[in-house]
A and B are shown apart, each in its own frame.
Chain A
Amino acid sequence: MTPALQGLLTIAIGVTGCVGYFYLSNQFLDKILFPPRGPNAGRNINRANMIRPWLFLFPAMAALGLYLAYPVVETLRLSLTERVPGGGYRWVGLDNYTQMAAEPKFWEAMRNNMFWLIVVPAMSTAFGLLVAQLTDRIRWGNLAKSLIFMPMAISFVGASVIWKLVYDARPAEQDQIGILNALYIFFGGTEPQTWLTIPFWNSFFLMIVLVWIQTGFAMVILSAALRGIPEETVEAAILDGANPFQIFFKIKVPQIKTTILVVWTTITITVLKVFDIVFAMTNGQWETQVLANYMYDKLFRANDWGVGSASAMVIMLLVTPILIWNVRNARKEME
């Protein structure tokens, strides 16, 4: 069977299966298990209503539990064990973690990740805020925003190809085809640079790719927040003689502080998961390793599930504060 046909069949089975499950289970509940008639009609209705939510929730909760909750526990377990040749696992305590901590590549990934965590959210949020403010009151603002938002739709892999062309280097005597080197030569550089192989700085050239993608996201959210600021506060500031910069930094920014924080944390999570860009552009060579790619290396190249799981737990640990903060906020909002 061709995959396309298989796909169509899956859609058909999936959709009818879902609808069928919900329909039949509701029917079963109302018609057979607790019919709302006879001597116990009232009690039956109550019982049916107690069970019904769980019928609606069951498939989704099963998916969540199996694909997200269970792996957290299982990864933790794997990170504390070692695969024994011939099958089975052996408890090794924190050995995987100490082994990982002894690897320079791990610390290189940690160091780079710290830079990623600072630079990408900061620059994306700053650029997003800048664009949101600048485009707020110009007539072609929406077109400009649309174009800056566009990279959101482009895959990390596609973006990697796009930026690899920007960073391309040709020998000095040839015409440069990478725009960065062309500009570098134009402004007086002598030797074309292979940007992605310059240790330390090359990580920043990779970060630019993610900033380029994420700025649109920051811009959309912040732009909506800026529009939500009460006009009176801005008018009052103008009457008091504030200049545009004071209005922006002293009136507007403080009022959208929570939104800025939300944008910042959302991008932080994206950064922690970033894999494709490093994988496609340098694959961690020239000291550009990051945690997610380090983990992939360990899991699928070195085939070391113990250390791979340990590094995945490090990513989880870094995400946890944001997770707690999000859950707290969500609960506050519901009250």
Chain B
Amino acid sequence: MSDIAGTKPALRWVVHLSVVALVALWVLPTLGLLVSSFRTADQIVTSGWWRSLFPSEQNLTLRSAAPETQVLENGVYVIEGQLFGTEDQATISRWGVSSRDVDAFVPGDVAEMRRGGTVTVDAQGNYRMENTEEFTGNRGARIFVTAELPPEFTTDNYQKVLLDESSTDSMAKAFFNTLTVTIPATIIPILVAAFAAYALAWMEFPGRALLIAAVVGLLVVPLQLALIPLLKFHLNIGIGKGYLGVWMAHTGFGMPLAIYLLRNYMAGLPRDLIENARVDGATEFQIFTKLILPLSFPALASFAIFQFLWTWNDLLVAKVFLIDATGQTTVMTNRIVELLGTRGGNWEILATAAFVSIAVPLLVFFAMQKYLVRGLLAGSVK
């Protein structure tokens, strides 16, 4: 069949443009935060992040070198230097020496200074001040410039958030805590669920259909219901709040989806394969470990991604089962919420912290998208 949209070129353009618009709408918010995490606190609050991608014209107040650096040339006192520190920082379009008239001159002009003498500034920011008398005072003269500044980014925020141990904004500890929660909470349920899924898919026993129905039902039970009863239970058996509790909770909450996904996949494996193995005298345990597990790799991978994303991104379960009063076991999502509350204005820390926490799932997402999509398609109850 030929392309329907292709029958009308105008419609084809509309399709392309709409998709571009939709993608932009979906990507821009994230891009904004990513760009912001590479800007200084000052930059973030003074201009929108979208401006930082292009060279921007800004009014800057700069200062010449102090009078003590002056030299005597042919009877004239001279101070020379670079306003930006190094060349190629910016291109000056206008400049001035008074705060009331900041764009009085173009590069190359010579201006009279209020405290005596003259000054000239070129487009690159090199200046030369001349005076027949000695320059006095201990600070340099103010020079106002209107300059085209190239985009400027910094990785300081990441250094502060990730590497600076002493900083109160450090996410390093929370990062490792999150990892500590996530990895066992991903691996253990897979194993437990895989055995159960095999029994539900390939073993005959009374009550099987009922159990499968129960698993489907438990898929949608809101975990809100579990918070108090299980916290009580954890406190009663003495594990209290901590890693063990959060691992167990995640294992329990992930179980219905794990069993459901794996059972559906295993039930679809060819019957001959399993029956041949049985005829050849393999035990159920051998069939499971040697045959079913390797063949179910795609389904195992799908669930592993789901569980990883879910445990990494979780806030509620960690708040209830893990984080105690000492705050030593805080996870990244919780740190970010704290930052949002107490330091709502510190966008550079907030943006960077958020991006550190988003980066890992995004990496997993793009690397293993295939399995994620496959799992979604198998996992939505049809």
On A, residues with C-beta under 8 Å from B are: 3-4, 6-7, 10-11, 14-15, 18-19, 22-23, 26, 30, 50, 52-54, 56-57, 59-61, 63-64, 66-72, 74-75, 78, 127, 130-131, 134-135, 137-138, 141, 144, 146-158, 160-166, 170, 174-179, 182, 212, 215, 217, 220-221, 224, 231, 234-235, 238, 244, 247, 258-259, 262-263, 266, 269, 272-273, 275-276, 279-281, 292, 295-296, 299-300, 305, 308-309, 312-313, 315-316, 319, 322-323, 326-327, 329-331, 333-334
Contact = CB atoms under 8 A, between A and B. Distances in A.
Contacts of A312: 222, 224-225, 227-228
A141 B23 CA distance: 10
Nearest to B205: A53
A147 B26 contact: yes
Interface string B231-268: 00100000000011001110111011001000000000
B377 A147 contact: no
A4 B224 CA distance: 28
Interface in B265-285: 283-285
Given A262-B382, A316-B225, 8 more contacts: A134-B19, A150-B366, A152-B372, A154-B30, A154-B361, A155-B357, A162-B32, A281-B340
B199 A53 contact: yes
A69 B211 CA distance: 12
B4 interface: yes
Contacts of A308: 228
A149 B358 contact: no
A175 B47 contact: yes
A138 B16 contact: yes
A147 B369 CA distance: 11
B106 interface: no
Nearest to A51: B205
Contacts of A329: 381-382
Contact of B224 (A231, A263, A315): A315
Given A18-B188, A155-B361, A157-B315, A7 B243 contact: yes
A56 B315 contact: no
Contacts of B198: 56
Nearest to A177: B48
B229 A144 contact: no
Contact of A64 (B28, B33, B218, B319): B218
A19 B191 contact: yes
A175 to B, nearest CB: 5
B212 A334 contact: yes
A10 B243 contact: yes
Contacts of A141: 19
A74 B229 contact: yes
Contacts of A151: 26, 30
B224 A157 contact: no
B219 interface: yes
A152 B364 CA distance: 12
Nearest to A333: B382
Nearest to A154: B358
Interface of B: 1, 3-6, 11, 15-16, 18-19, 22-23, 26-30, 32-33, 36, 44-50, 176-177, 179-180, 183-184, 187-189, 191-193, 195-196, 198-200, 203-205, 208-209, 211-230, 233, 243-244, 247-249, 251-253, 255-256, 259, 283-285, 288, 309, 312-316, 319-320, 329, 333, 336-337, 340, 347, 350-351, 354, 357-358, 361-362, 364-366, 369, 372-373, 376-377, 380-382
A170 to B, nearest CB: 8
A215 B26 contact: yes
Q: Would you call the interface of chain A mostly helix, strand, loop, or mixed?
A: helix
A66 B249 CA distance: 10
A3 B29 contact: no
23 contacts: A4-B180, A10-B243, A18-B191, A54-B205, A56-B198, A59-B195, A63-B189, A71-B227, A74-B228, A134-B18, A146-B366, A153-B362, A157-B357, A162-B354, A177-B44, A215-B26, A217-B376, A221-B380, A299-B228, A312-B228, A327-B213, A327-B216, A334-B209
Contact of A158 (B211, B215, B252, B336): B336
B195 A22 contact: yes
A59 B32 contact: no
Contacts of B28: 179
A1 B180 CA distance: 13
B217 A67 contact: no
Contacts of A182: 48, 50
Contacts of A164: 340
A309 B229 CA distance: 10
B357 to A, nearest CB: 6
A165 B217 contact: no
A158 B357 contact: yes
Contact of B337 (A67, A147, A259, A279): A279
Contacts of A269: 220, 222
Given A50-B205, A138-B16, A68 B212 contact: no
A147 B27 contact: yes
A78 B191 contact: no
Contacts of B47: 175, 177
A330 B30 contact: no
Contact of A161 (B211, B215, B313, B351): B351
A64 B256 CA distance: 7
Contacts of A259: 382
B357 A224 contact: no
Contacts of B313: 154-158
Given A10-B244, A26-B284, A64-B255, A231 B362 contact: no
A323 B220 CA distance: 6
Contacts of B316: 275-276, 296
A70 B220 CA distance: 15
Contacts of B213: 327, 330-331
Nearest to A295: B224
